[in-house]
Amino acid sequence: MAVYRNDPDLNLLGQCSNEELQLLVSILTTDPRDGDTRWTESLTSTPEYRLLAPDHRRYWQLIAAEFQRYGANTLASLVRLGQGVAYREILVDVCDKLDVNYNQKSTTETIELALLMKVLEKSLDQMTPEELAAFSRNMHLDLTNPTPQLILIAVQAAIRTSSLAALELATMLSASVIASLGGIATWGTVVVASRALSVLAGPLAIALSSSWMVSGLAGPAYRVTIPACIIVSWLRQQRLSR
């Protein structure tokens, strides 16, 4: 069983609702290709999970420990018996995997936003002109003829001036990750968990679906750590916006 390493960047999970934690639990425990339980996961076999699920708040440390353990699987040189690696190490590894441009000295939140922008960039490249226009409207961008490049510039400018823009981006990408991974949790769950931004539901979330995340990544651990980092980024933005 994984043991939680006290981690300031993951302690926010202790403030999350059961609905919010369910999104992370789904990613950690369910294989989106067939909906079966991941054979590498250990969370669902713990006494706490068997006794208390879905009251995830009562064992959030075990959820965090499971995430840390998956991170150790992608960082072979850092594997420790019964213990994973810190969230920031996982986040930096994910950013390196996706060729994210970031500063090693930046805050965890800033690196998360760099990751979200990279995921957005990859998703925008797959959109039709109609989908780009819908995205621009829902992000409240004043663009007459939106292109992927213009949207990226506008989103970056919006994030610099408004914490709500960062939350909207994180929420939208969380929905797209869930859709792209086979709907292991529903968009309705995201709306319930976020208590806001229902305008982002429906076809737009599907348009943002990042199929590259499933097909283009080598190694099953990354198919856990990448979407999990996006979910954690969204959870952090929710806390920062309150």
- Name the more confident of 75 and 111: 111
Q: What's the pLDDT score for residue 43?
A: 94
pLDDT digits (tens, 9 = 90+) for 206-221: 445 555 555 555 567 8
Q: What's the pLDDT score for residue 227?
A: 87
User: Is residue 129 assigned to a domain?
Assistant: yes
Helix (H, G, I), strand (E, B) or coil at 27: helix
What predicted TM-score, i.e. pTM, was given to this entire model? 0.86
Quick count: other Cβ atoms within 10 Å of Cβ 76? Answer: 8
Say if residue 195's pLDDT is above 70. no
Residue 94: pLDDT band (50, 70, 90) is very high
Give how many domains the chain has, as a whole number: 1
pLDDT digits (tens, 9 = 90+) for 36-81: 788 889 999 999 999 999 999 999 999 999 999 888 776 654 445 5
For the chain, what is the mean pLDDT?
81
User: Is residue 6 assigned to a domain?
Assistant: no
Helix (H, G, I), strand (E, B) or coil at 37: strand
User: Is residue 215 assigned to a domain?
Assistant: yes
Q: What's the pLDDT score for residue 45?
A: 94
Q: What's the pLDDT score for residue 138?
A: 77
Mean pLDDT of 10-34: 88
Q: Which domain holds residue 52?
A: 11-240
pLDDT digits (tens, 9 = 90+) for 112-166: 999 999 988 888 887 888 888 888 887 788 899 999 999 999 999 999 988 888 9
User: Is residue 5 assigned to a domain?
Assistant: no
Say if residue 83's pLDDT is above 50. yes
Please report how many Cα atoms fall inside a 13 Å half-sphere around the Cα of residue 143, on the Cβ side. 25
Q: What's the pLDDT score for residue 211?
A: 52
Q: What's the pLDDT score for residue 213?
A: 54
Quick count: other Cβ atoms within 10 Å of Cβ 148? Answer: 17
* 79-101 as b/e: b if 16+ CB within 10 A: eeeeebbbbbbbbbbbbeebebe
- Name the more confident of 35 and 197: 35
Quick count: other Cβ atoms within 10 Å of Cβ 54? Answer: 11
User: Is residue 208 assigned to a domain?
Assistant: yes
Say if residues 129 and 135 touch (Cβ distance below 8 Å). no
Q: What's the pLDDT score for residue 222?
A: 83
User: Is residue 72 assigned to a domain?
Assistant: yes
Q: What's the pLDDT score for residue 203?
A: 47
